[in-house]
Chains A and B, each alone.
Chain A
């Protein structure tokens, strides 16, 4: 079956612009996660959606970052007024439920000039 997909695969933007990153989870997975991976670093948790519950936003680094999940499926991560330190690979994962294995997409490589 289809895995987690993300788009775009690469995004180059200028400092100060807004960007939107998209994630399509595995069909039927109720939990969806966003992580960020900076060069030479492990994955940093950003936000987590589980069904209709309020999302866990504890990892979002600033109020420039937001995410939504429409219809319990597709999710969009939005970064407003991008900064150079936002340059990283943004990874999305999904799981069938809380505590279960998380399956990752290929990531979106964001470069802020």
Chain B
């Protein structure tokens, strides 16, 4: 079993839809959680960073962490065609290293 599981999709939605992206993890030592967006042939771009359970909102994006269930989510409201990309969850902590463990990534397509 992978430490971080993420449905690779692809996920296709119409413009304006609410998108929900999810990851589960098995290592209870993870302490911080991130979501990255990656456009084709580009490096990942940090979207959200959270350090605790609960919700964090930034514009149209909301990150949710439930440590008791080992489950994290990213919600995108009013999705736009420019949101079409691969979304990667990542998590780390629990040891003397800064390395991140990534999910496989979910490919999202927002159709105009």
Residues of chain A whose beta carbon lies under 8 Å from any beta carbon of chain B: 4, 31, 33, 35, 40-45, 48, 50, 56, 58-59, 91, 95, 98-107, 109
Contacts and interface: CB of A to CB of B under 8 A. Distances in A.
Contacts of B42: 106-107
Given A42-B102, A42-B105, A56 B44 contact: no
A33 B44 CA distance: 13
B71 interface: no
Contacts, number: 63
14 contacts: A31-B98, A41-B104, A42-B6, A42-B102, A43-B44, A44-B102, A48-B99, A56-B99, A58-B99, A99-B92, A99-B93, A102-B34, A102-B98, A107-B42
B97 interface: yes
Given A101-B34, A102-B46, A43 B100 contact: yes
Interface in B1-47: 4, 6, 8, 31-32, 34, 36, 41-46
A4 B97 CA distance: 20
B62 to A, nearest CB: 18
A44 B36 CA distance: 14
A3 B97 CA distance: 22
A100 B34 CA distance: 10
Contact of A104 (B31, B45, B98): B45
Given A101-B34, A106-B42, A42 B98 contact: no
Given A101-B34, A107-B43, A42 B103 contact: yes
Most chain B C-beta atoms within 10 Å of own C-beta, residue among A41, A42, A50, A98: A42
A99 B98 contact: yes
B99 A101 contact: no
Contact of B102 (A4, A43, A106): A43
Contacts of A99: 31-32, 92-93, 98
B96 to A, nearest CB: 8
Contacts of A105: 43
A48 B46 contact: no
Contacts of B46: 101-104
Contacts of A59: 99
